[in-house]
């Protein structure tokens, strides 16, 4: 069973371009989470999605950031008009359907975004 897959592993963009980060959850997992890790900091929650639904986006910046998890295909985190402050590692995690409490989240290797 393959783990959580993220691509690309490294992404370089110039200011003003768009960044698209992809995440394929583990087989059988219907819950996807995106986190951002700034240098020397812990992970900050961004958004929690289930298939075709955004469950919690309380950690998403109000502008330029969006996420989706379509019925078919990977989850996408999209950052429009990137700025230097968006440079960070973006981690995706997945978990199986809940059974009354938070489940372990399985993390992908991350996408390291560098904005020039």
Partner 1 sequence: AQSVTQLGSHVSVSEGALVLLRCNYSSSVPPYLFWYVQYPNQGLQLLLKYTSAATLVKGINGFEAEFKKSETSFHLTKPSAHMSDAAEYFCAVSEANTGNQFYFGTGTSLTVIP
Residues that bind partner 1 (CB under 8 A): 4, 6, 31, 33, 35, 40-45, 48, 55-56, 58-59, 91, 93, 95, 98, 100-110, 112
Q: Which residue has the tokens 């812990």?
A: 42
17 vs 106, which CB is nearer to partner 1? 106
* Minimal distance, residue 75 CB to partner 1, in Å: 15
* Minimal distance, residue 18 CB to partner 1, in Å: 24
* Minimal distance, residue 82 CB to partner 1, in Å: 21
Strands of the chain, DSSP E: 5-7, 10-13, 19-24, 31-37, 43-50, 53-56, 65-68, 75-79, 88-95, 106-107, 111-115
15 vs 27, which CB is nearer to partner 1? 27
Name 33's Cβ contacts closer than 8 Å, sequence gap at least 6: 45, 46, 47, 48, 49, 92, 93, 94, 95, 105
17 vs 109, which CB is nearer to partner 1? 109
């Amino acid at each position: 069973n393959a783990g959580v897959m993220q691509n690309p592993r490294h992404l370089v963009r110039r200011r003003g371009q768009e960044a698209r980060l992809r995440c394929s959850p583990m087989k059988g997992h219907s819950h996807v989470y995106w986190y951002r890790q700034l240098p020397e900091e812990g992970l900050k929650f961004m958004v929690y999605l289930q298939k075709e639904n955004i469950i919690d986006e309380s950690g998403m910046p109000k502008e330029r950031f969006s996420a989706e998890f379509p019925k078919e295909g990977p989850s996408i985190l999209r950052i429009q008009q990137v700025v230097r402050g968006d440079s960070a590692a973006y981690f995706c995690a997945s978990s199986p359907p809940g059974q009354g409490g938070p489940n372990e989240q399985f993390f992908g290797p991350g996408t390291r975004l560098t904005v020039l």
